[in-house]
Amino acid sequence: MQDLHVGWHRRSRALGAVAATTLTLSAGAIGLAAQPAAAVADETAPASVALVGSLQDELGCSADWDPACDATELTDVDGDGTWEYTATVPAGAYEIKVALNDSWDTSYGKNGGADNIPLTLAGDAELTFTWNQDNHRIGLVSTDLTGDYTDADAALAAAPVRQGTAEQFYFVLTDRFANGDTSNDAGGLTGGRDITGLDPTDKGYYHGGDIQGLIDHLDYIQGLGTTAIWLTPSFTNQPVQGSGADASAGYHGYWITDFTSIDPHLGGNEALAQLRDALHARGMKLYLDIITNHTADLISYEEGTYSYVETADVPYTDAAGNVVDISALAGQEDFPTLDAATSFPYTPVRNGDVIPEVLNDVTLYHNRGDSTWTGESTTMGDFQGLDDLMTENPIVEQTFEDVYTAWMDFGVDGFRIDTVKHVNYEFWQAWTAAIDAHAEATNPDFFTFGEVYDADATVLSPHFWDG
């Protein structure tokens, strides 16, 4: 549902992606992760291809990074364009790439580009390095890997978690499903669509679907084999953002102003309680789509510009004027107190309130401008204008512990977590521990899963192991 974040925002950015490649060998296990890319064929085969890097002196070369060393040359024996070289490599941390024709005139590394590829070995290993002359990619095979998973591998790879995967989810954008109660179509507001957000003729506005519409059609939904309903974000939203041709409504649920209530357009908390009870009576479950990364666009900058400002260029300062690294201090009790007027690259101004009230403090937001979807801006930049919370601050983390354990006590059965990769790991480590502990005490079957909107395994995997 990444695209549903983009209705109207005060500014927009194109999404970008960065692929990374890391080779890791640990006690006989190896993993290679790389994003595929279109092949670019060489007109002629190179005269020679050498494995170069910080491991060459361990493999018989007189020096590292020597493209003319014969000891680490690859060969293309069958002429199919795939070059190979096999060697026993000692344990250690290295960087590698290939160089052509005994020189640095042409070389290839990560993703067929110029960057070196990290290679980490926990023990000595016999490895076969390959290089394809059409797509310029380096491959790696370990001949030490034999057989299937055994108990001896348990220290390296835990058995996969299967909790929650037995559910048959019905994922529903509530506003677009069915209108079961026309009295809530305008969300309790009075006026035209620029006030209420209601305009069933425009795909960018509320159409009138609500939770009662789901309740009315539970026979149909369950008849599909559904065991759990997963609602798009349902908390109270900013009804409309923007003006003129740039205006649209929060029918999608990502412009939250109150994390403690269900949007009146959908029927409010009472309607959700009725859906919960109806589902549980059928032996079905209720999942909420939740957000911790941002709120609605309720903060502007006095400067009137919103380009992202790197911390290397303008670092954060505490209220006393000392430079602070919030990433290094993430989650710590001595997290610094910041000053709205002096601590940020921009001067934040609040234009509307949020609930819980503590989140109205503008120093609990990053205030660095719009994300560029790369580097630090991935977790510190505004999500196309939506106000990015400073989740490194333990006040923010504790607030969301309180918010979402309350919804657990309300009786929902699980969460789908939005924008996971846009929040720092320390937040997830603390928050998920609290959610797990609360579930253990109240509902051991409570299940959470999250969205990391990326196809690159090197981006996905840290969220399994570190976050």
pLDDT tens-place string over residues 265-310: 999 999 999 999 999 999 999 999 999 999 999 999 999 999 999 9
**Which single residue is written with the structure tokens 């502990």?**
437
Compute the average pLDDT of residues 241-267. Answer: 95
Active site members: 418, 451
pTM (predicted TM-score): 0.70
> Quick check: 396 and 364 in contact, CB under 8 A?
yes
Q: Tell me the pLDDT tens digit for each residue of 73-107.
A: 999 999 999 999 999 999 999 999 999 999 999 99
3-state secondary structure of 212: helix
Is the per-residue pLDDT at 4 higher than 60? no
> Quick check: 318 and 337 in contact, CB under 8 A?
yes
Picking from 240, 241, 239, 235, the residue whose alpha carbon sits closest to that of residue 258 is: 235
The overall average pLDDT reported for the chain is: 88
Instruction: With cut-offs at 50, 70 and 90, classify the pLDDT of residue 427.
Output: very high
> Quick check: 391 and 361 in contact, CB under 8 A?
no
- Pairwise CA distance, residues 99 & 53, whole Å: 10
Concatenated DSSP letters of 282-293: TT-EEEEEE--S
Opening angle at CA 139, ends 38 and 93, nearest 5? 125
Return the pLDDT at 12: 30
Compute the average pLDDT of residues 330-350. Answer: 97
Both tokens assigned to 356:
């819980």
CB under 8 A, 24+ apart: contacts of 78-81: 81/45, 81/132, 81/133, 81/134
> Quick check: 115 and 105 in contact, CB under 8 A?
no
Compute the average pLDDT of residues 383-393. Answer: 96
Return the pLDDT at 459: 75
- Pairwise CA distance, residues 128 & 67, whole Å: 18
Return the pLDDT at 162: 61
Picking from 16, 17, 21, 18, the residue whose alpha carbon sits closest to that of residue 112 is: 21
CB under 8 A, 24+ apart: contacts of 309-312: 309/345, 309/346, 309/368, 309/369, 310/375, 310/376, 310/377, 311/368, 311/376, 311/380
Return the pLDDT at 160: 62
**Which single residue is written with the structure tokens 């601050």?**
393
389 Cβ contact list (under 8 Å, min separation 6):
292, 293, 294, 295, 359, 364, 365, 366, 396
- Pairwise CA distance, residues 82 & 140, whole Å: 12
- Pairwise CA distance, residues 131 & 461, whole Å: 25
Is the per-residue pLDDT at 39 higher than 50? no
Pairing of strands 285-290, 414-417: parallel
Distance between alpha carbon 85 and the CA centroid of its chain, in Å? 37
- Pairwise CA distance, residues 28 & 24, whole Å: 10
Domain boundaries, given as residue ranges, for the chain:
22-153
Is the per-residue pLDDT at 372 higher than 70? yes
Sign of torsion over alpha carbons 260, 261, 263, 269: positive
Instruction: With cut-offs at 50, 70 and 90, classify the pLDDT of residue 456.
Output: confident
Instruction: With cut-offs at 50, 70 and 90, classify the pLDDT of residue 457.
Output: confident
Compute the average pLDDT of residues 225-245. Answer: 95
Compute the average pLDDT of residues 11-15. Answer: 28
Is the per-residue pLDDT at 322 higher than 90? yes
Compute the average pLDDT of residues 308-336. Answer: 97
Burial class of residue 174 (count of CB atoms within 10 Å of its CB; 0-12, 13-18, 19+): buried
Class of domain 22-153: mainly beta
Compute the average pLDDT of residues 13-40. Answer: 33
**Which single residue is written with the structure tokens 């052509």?**
100
Is the per-residue pLDDT at 35 higher than 60? no
Burial class of residue 407 (count of CB atoms within 10 Å of its CB; 0-12, 13-18, 19+): middle
> Quick check: 193 and 207 in contact, CB under 8 A?
no
